[in-house]
A and B are shown apart, each in its own frame.
Chain A
Amino acid sequence: MIKVDAISKNYAEKSVVDTISFEAHNQEILILLGTSGCGKTTTLKMINRLIETDTGDILIDGQNIRDKKIEDLRMGIGFIMQNTGLFPHYTIQENIATVPKLLKWDKKHIQNRTNELMHKLHLSTDILVRYPHELSGGQQQRVGIIRALIANTPVLLMDEPFGALDNITKSEIHTAFKSLDELKNKTTILVTHDVQEAFELGHRIALMDKGKILQIGTPKEMIYRPKNDFVSNFFASNRLLLEHKVTTLADLEKMFHIQDIIQPSLSAQSSLSAQSTVWSALQHLSTDKHDFDRYEKLSKAFAAYRKMQIT
């Protein structure tokens, strides 16, 4: 668990981060969301002391990060950066093994762990002997993720990790990333400016502007319980899509009879389940004209649900 307590950072009299406090829990992905210059990356880098705080404290599992040797602190934190930050003079294998070597793992252990993670992120072990520039952007970013995960650190920090990727590659990596069981024993903080990514990956979202956190909460809270106009305006352009995505069939099931929508789909070889979002369910139903009635019924149920949430 990470506890950030009233941290600030100024550059030349200009306040970049202004007395921010929040907590990130175990097994959680917390998103720091905001436009460029809002202070989200600075906040992230203060956690592994790439940037030092001016005032305030950061505690990881109760221990102040300043009480640890800086190298030890950083070896206990996985870090994934926007432009991969892979060493151009190291092969993929050497890049991945950087931290284990600093930790003096034996070769066999490094090898096994590398292969395991390569498999999980759908990378062929053939590329291990290549250099970063010989890989595609998506492959490089996957390697970056493996490098950050290999030492199984309790904390993972991600700075715009998927920002440079095209949409298709991005959604593939999102899927692979979400399904990683490695995340289950970690506290993850991810910085992004991409609203859809925030909703796709985040358990909770902290929306930042001008060095402050305006609201922190679950995606649903951010959409249906905005604290002020800035928050609701921030999501305005994606609002309809986001509403469909934050609502699951399970949410609707509690209030409406939609068993007949879910059941036939389950029996078929489709991916719909109670955990599916309304967005994916509607998309699924819209592909077949025989499902026209069910589509309409689901839409109506969602419209009613939505009305209840807002009022």
Chain B
Amino acid sequence: MMKQNFWTFVVEQHEKLFMQVIQHLGLTFSSLLLAIIVGIPLGILISRKEKLAHFILGTAGILQTIPSIALLGFMIPFFGIGAIPAIVALLIYALLPIIRNTYTGITGVSTNVMEAGKAMGMNSRQLLFKVQFPLAMPVIIAGIRTATVINVGVATLASFVGAGGLGEFIFGGISLNNSNMILAGAIPAAFLAIFLDQTIAFLQGLKFRNLNQWRVIGSLITIIALAYYFWPTPTSNKLKAGFTPEFMGRQDGDLGLRAIYGLYMNPKIISDAIMYKAIHEDQLDVISGYSTDGRIKAFNLKVLEDDKKIFPPYYAAPIIKSKTLLKYPDLEPVIDLLAGKINDSLMTEMNYKTDFLQQTPEKVAQDFLKSIHLYKEAGLRNAGKIRIGTKIFGEQYILAALYKMLIEGHTSYAVETKTGLGGTKICFDALVNDAIDLYPEYTGTGLLVLLNPTEENIKEVTQNPEKTYHYVQQEFKNKYGIQWLKPIGFNNAYALMMRNKDAHDQRIKSISDLKAYLSY
């Protein structure tokens, strides 16, 4: 397959890109508008009531420090998924600079000028609008500029809660190992930040002293913000679907659902960290998940039968560079101790313990190793250091903990784990560039995401898990000098899932049933 270049990608995807830019602007402007509506009056209020200033600025400052993903996670129970939680989160980030600059601007107006205004008989309203506000305007605008740039950046994370925006390309690209897709999201996002910053700077330079002119600008922002809501979006189905960016771009994912089942879900794009929570909170009805995920059990979800076989089962196995195996000769036999030891139900059970029973991956790993009599206390750790990476979901954390205990118990190597790397691409690049030494990967991901084979190749090698394993093992060795070690035992495949109750009520057991239900 020919490598796609950046421009062909952009040209091909221009409709999607345009949509994402509109969504991104919509999110940024809606939140900005709200932040202005809330922030400026608050700033004025605290400039008059000094006692409140400390409290309000402090609170806004604390809100600012909450990590954006965590904030988005908190929002789901209150606001569901989609644009609203994203806008609320963005509003919270935009508040501090706007409140603070309004306060600083207004309190910075010289007392001499204020006294002159009072002495001429201005009332407090006239003083505010004719004196304080115009004089504080440059400082307030600077705050709005800061807030705009912050929001353009944070709005990329809105795609985690299905609110769209350029984050869809950025995080989709990271999951799918598609640099063009990452750039198609990142470059417009950077450009938007610069463009908006400069536009505001330009407007500031015009020295608007007249409130009427500000009203014009205010309405302009409002129009852009509103345009986002009235932009024609595909009509939604009876069931709301949420898929991960990776699932969206894979043959054994949304592409397959469309091609083989003729199932068009118009899904929201959402991060897997938030997806399960969203279906549990009734914000979504159908999600793409992994067949061994502990939350299937925890949240009482129904895995729909893949009756047309578009999700081939994949082995999970650790991958490692050949040269690393040579450097640390004791490593391979120890890692292989786990080969074939964990079947689907054991893995699901362990995932359930971490995802639902809230046990730490380390505890779950230790309990398991003890149960199969492989656990040993860590001994000397002076023969070198092995770095294990993981992707950002529970199963990988458990696997990393298992390998760490095995290696430290059975060899003299020390182990450092680098957990929660943001996606397949980040993990794989880290391995190729020697930032980590091994991580658990799935043969299907290796095949479809990393190797990019032709369609015939795919058909041929996905007939059974063994064929896939042998193909990727061969190709990885030749292309990257990377070894696939022996499979751990369980198969992990993509799966569509619904809440058990809904599936039962609508008598949906398979993906074909779902298709039938939706087209009915």
Contact surface of A with B, Cβ cutoff 8 Å: 48, 50, 71-75, 77, 79, 81, 83, 85-89, 98-99, 102, 147
Contacts and interface: CB of A to CB of B under 8 A. Distances in A.
B126 interface: yes
Residue from B118, B119, B122, B131 having most chain A Cβ neighbours under 10 A: B119
Contact of A99 (B121, B131, B134): B121
B126 A85 contact: no
Contacts of A72: 121
Contacts of A88: 113, 135
A98 B122 CA distance: 9
B122 to A, nearest CB: 7
Contacts of B120: 74-75, 79, 98-99, 102, 147
Contacts of A86: 113, 116
Contacts of B209: 89
Given A81-B115, A88-B135, A102-B121, 5 more contacts: A74-B120, A77-B119, A79-B120, A83-B112, A87-B117
B107 to A, nearest CB: 16
Contacts of B123: 71
A87 B116 contact: yes
Contact of A89 (B112, B115, B135): B135
Given A71-B122, A71-B123, A89 B134 contact: yes
Contacts of A147: 120
Contact of B122 (A81, A85, A102): A102
Closest 10 CB pairs of A and B: A85-B116, A75-B121, A74-B121, A79-B119, A71-B121, A89-B134, A83-B112, A99-B120, A71-B123, A85-B112
26 contacts: A50-B119, A71-B121, A71-B122, A72-B121, A74-B118, A74-B119, A74-B120, A74-B121, A75-B121, A79-B116, A79-B119, A79-B120, A85-B113, A85-B115, A85-B116, A86-B116, A87-B113, A87-B116, A87-B117, A87-B135, A89-B134, A98-B120, A99-B121, A102-B120, A102-B121, A102-B126
Contacts of A73: 121
A85 B113 CA distance: 5
Nearest to A99: B120
Contacts of A48: 119
Residue from B113, B126, B209 having most chain A Cβ neighbours under 10 A: B113
B138 to A, nearest CB: 10
Interface string B309-337: 00000000000000000000000000000
Nearest to A75: B121
B159 to A, nearest CB: 43
B112 A81 contact: yes
A308 to B, nearest CB: 46
A72 B123 CA distance: 10
Contacts of A87: 113, 116-117, 131, 135
Interface string B82-126: 000000000000000000000000000000110111111111001
Contacts of B118: 50, 74
B141 to A, nearest CB: 14
A48 B135 CA distance: 25
Interface in B350-398: none
Residue from B116, B117, B122 having most chain A Cβ neighbours under 10 A: B116
A61 to B, nearest CB: 17
A50 B119 CA distance: 7
B121 A81 contact: no
Interface in B393-447: none
